[in-house]
Amino acid sequence: MIEINGKTRTCGIIGNPVEHTMSPLIHNTLSQMLDINMVYVPFPVKEDCLAAAVKGAYGLNILGMNVTVPYKSAVIAQLAQIDPLAQKIGAVNTLVRVEGGYKGYNTDMTGLLRAMKSDGVSIAGEEILILGAGGVGRAVAFLCAANGARKVHLLNRSVAKAQGVAAEVNKALDTTCVEAMALSGYQTLLGGAENRYVVIQCTSVGLSPNVGDVVIADGDFYHFVKFGYDLIYSPWETTFMKYVTANGGIAFNGLKMLLYQAFDAFELWNGCKVSDEHARRIYQKLRESVGAK
């Protein structure tokens, strides 16, 4: 039980909508486990109120905030400082209180990296396929290129959009490893048995209620997938994941990314470290909350 008193610090999440968020479960459970006097609540913010919300949060001594859609890029203009990785990605999901305002971080991407490491999956030296070149796909392309991927193939229905993102990432990181291509061109990547990829599904395809949908519905493609990450976590097993496992690969959903991006934010706010045991216990709580088997 959280005991709120005059020394309780407040954190929260701003976005629109935020009623569905699982972040309070993670942060308030962590606060109890670590005996930290902090509470975490959702703050729904209307589109024309973002600047006022950030300024008001600072005036109210809010310790930190997460930022969700549709404000991950728009919030940058309201920051006092920004972490270099978040600036390159062009998206912020965590605000940490500093003198005169907030510093922005992107713990979505550090959280994904931490989740992959916990699953024994490496980016360094791997050939990565990213499905989707929207905001999430763009951020994941930065993450992979910045962490030593041998090659990053960015597949999108609009090849022009993918080309723009690839050029941006390559320029920002002084690399040539990110390559854009049309989604329909995936067949050119299917070769010998040695060509097996880490595939990260970054679109909303497969979300409820359209749980039967999948970006690529071709079993031949999935023969070449050794690890498949779908950043969706509801439903628990997406059609993409079913294709991966049916063809001999190992599939993961986005729940651990949600978990670890929250841990990274919590650690930034409180100057602490979340243990593997705490991670295990909270991950189990999350699994139960989404009805995982």
The span from the CA of 55 to the CA of 102, in Å, is 9
DSSP 239: H
- The torsion angle over the Cα atoms of residues 168, 174, 179 and 180, rounded to 10 degrees, is 10
Contact 175, 152 (CB under 8 A): no
Nearest to 130 by CA among 114, 154, 96, 101: 154
Contact 274, 30 (CB under 8 A): yes
Residue identified by tokens 């070769």 is: 191
Contact 38, 8 (CB under 8 A): yes
Contact 106, 257 (CB under 8 A): no
Is 72 catalytic? The answer is yes
From the list 7, 46, 55, 72, the catalytic residue is: 72
206 to 22, 183, 211: CA distances (angstroms) = 19, 16, 4
Nearest to 86 by CA among 176, 146, 17: 146
The span from the CA of 189 to the CA of 137, in Å, is 19
2 to 30, 131, 290: CA distances (angstroms) = 11, 41, 23
Alpha-helix runs per DSSP H in 49-198: 50-59, 84-89, 107-118, 135-146, 159-173
Amino acid at 21: T
Q: Give me the active site residues, please.
A: 72
